[in-house]
Amino acid sequence: MNLPKELSLPLVRVTEAAALRAARTQGRGDKNGTDKAAVDAMRGMLDYIDIKGCVIIGEGEKDEAPMLYCGEMVGMQQSDSMEVDIAVDPVDGTTMTANGMGNAISVIAMGERGSMMSIPCFYALKLACGPELRGHMDLNASLSENIRVAAARLDKSYADITVAVLNRPRHDAFIKEIRDIGCRIKLIQDGDIAASIATCDEEHGIDFYYGIGGAPEAVISAVAMKALEGDLQVKLWPLKEGEKEALQAQGLSTTRIYTAEDLAKGDNLIFSATGVTDGTLLRGVRFYGEKAKTHSLLMRNQTKTVRYIEAMHNLHYKTLPSKELHRENPV
């Protein structure tokens, strides 16, 4: 059964709610408070959607998170509600929001039941690129070789190639390799979902994304990259003792390259993101007294439709559901 298009706008309302609540915490230095506010709003809004949703990618295992944990059932859950998989990141960039920095977004992806791959909260090496490079990049090849391929395919000099990389000590060798070959680097502090998506639009100035980031976020990115006809390659990358064995126990390989299709099967998928703070991909929430403006991105894989949605919310009338308090609260 296809996901009805009528589910698209409700998903935007979910990410809008999380972004509105999270944006209130911008710059306060409390990343846990940012996350809690977004989770509560997102979880509350999901119960307004006529679905039987199972959280495949969420805030962790049941004993680690009070809401939006892996396996939690969400939605109205009526007898005739459609069964779907849900992947969420209430704020991709909690630290950036708490520190008043840019590029934080609220994200959700939905697919028919069984479409999304369940991955534990470990790390993965990722390579994301736009349609022009799809099918030509290879995560098994060296970073330098991928830069050479990108330059040739895009008809650019090395000096004009821009690679996005998370600013982490574990990437020091990657950063040196990029600099040694003469390319430009866009260092991002957090949030590689937005960076991956940005590779699909030349206006954002990123030719490809490369680096080690959260594995669960790759599933959400896969939905977006498929809608944009970009490419995403992922290799699970254990960093701590025991992680390799834990992955293997779940039937997951640390040598296989997982594609976007492996992570999110088919085209029966919907993606929504709303900006929390100003970023490359989306503008952050703006507050104007009793009004607030949000900027969202909605993609439906079945039709490859990409919509940017700007909404003005009248806070005098608008309330958001609090799952924790079991009531509607002002924004």
Range of the domain at 92: 5-116+268-319
Q: What is the CATH number of the domain that holds 170?
A: 3.40.190.90
More confident residue, 320 or 89: 89
How many CB atoms are located within 10 Å of the residue 141 CB? 13
142 lies in the same domain as 238: yes
Residue 211's pLDDT is: 96
Residue 227 confidence (pLDDT) above 80: yes
152 lies in the same domain as 171: yes
Q: For residue range 249-294, list pLDDT tens digits in order.
A: 888 899 999 999 999 999 999 999 999 999 989 999 999 989 999 9
Residue 328 confidence (pLDDT) above 80: no
For residue 11, the 8-state DSSP code is H
Residue 57 confidence (pLDDT) above 90: yes
140 lies in the same domain as 106: no
How many CB atoms are located within 10 Å of the residue 63 CB? 7
At residue 57, the 3 state secondary structure works out as strand
186 lies in the same domain as 302: no
How many CB atoms are located within 10 Å of the residue 51 CB? 22
CA 191, 192, 197, 199 torsion: positive or negative?
positive
Share of the chain above pLDDT 70, in %: 97
Residue 64 confidence (pLDDT) above 70: no
Which range of 53-57, 235-239, 320-324 scores highest in mean pLDDT? It is: 53-57
Share of the chain above pLDDT 90, in %: 82
Residue 325's pLDDT is: 65
The number of distinct structural domains making up the chain is 2
Of 241, 263, 285, the residue that ends a domain is 263
Q: What is the mean pLDDT of residues 102-113?
A: 96
Q: What is the mean pLDDT of residues 48-77?
A: 88
CA dihedral 296, 299, 300, 305 (to 10 degrees): 110
Residue 280's pLDDT is: 87
Q: What is the mean pLDDT of residues 223-228?
A: 98
**Distance between CA atoms of 129 and 31, rounded to whole angstroms?**
30
Rounded to a whole number of angstroms, the CA Rg of the chain reads 19
247 lies in the same domain as 145: yes
Residue 56's pLDDT is: 95
159 lies in the same domain as 246: yes
